[in-house]
Amino acid sequence: MSAERTLILVKPDGVARGLSGTILARVEAKGYKLVDMKFVHATREILEAHYAEHVGKPFYEPLVEFMLSGPVVAAVFEGERVIEGFRSLAGTTEPTTAAPGTIRGDYGRDWGLKVQQNLVHGSDSVKSAEKEISIWFG
């Protein structure tokens, strides 16, 4: 049985704050294997494919604009239950209430903007991971 894979994005706020290495090191320290990585300026096309299920929602356009605002680190990690493990490591979507010890709990906060800048994205299922990895890595 092959190990599970997930897409992890360090969003523009994490890159701008110089947290990319710290965030990726935490994932590696958890024991997951980095299998691919790139530094990329996302295009609208990539983001439209990535966030397709959110089209029409009030936060969609502010989210796309935020993700276009700066470079992103896209990484593929592998390991047993890596999807669940990373989502636990990342913490809840809302950084103000994310538990201390999580990425969002330790480094995130509400900036009072139209869209939550919460440092990272992680795939939420095997199916999503497969789709997202193909979008970001071809």
Query: How far apart are the C-alpha atoms of 6 and 1, rounded to whole Å?
Result: 16
Q: Which two tokens stand for residue 9?
A: 């994005």
Catalytic residue among 41, 50, 54, 121: 121
Confirm whether 121 is a catalytic residue. Answer: yes
Identify the burial level of 75 via C-beta atoms within 10 angstroms of its C-beta, where 0-12 means exposed, 13-18 middle and 19 or more buried.
buried
Cβ atoms within 10 Å, residue 38: 12
Q: Which two tokens stand for residue 82?
A: 């890596």
**Positive or negative torsion for Cα 31, 95, 55, 14:** negative
Sheet strand arrangement including 4-10: 33-40, 72-79, 4-10, 120-122
- Indicate which residues carry an active-site annotation: 121
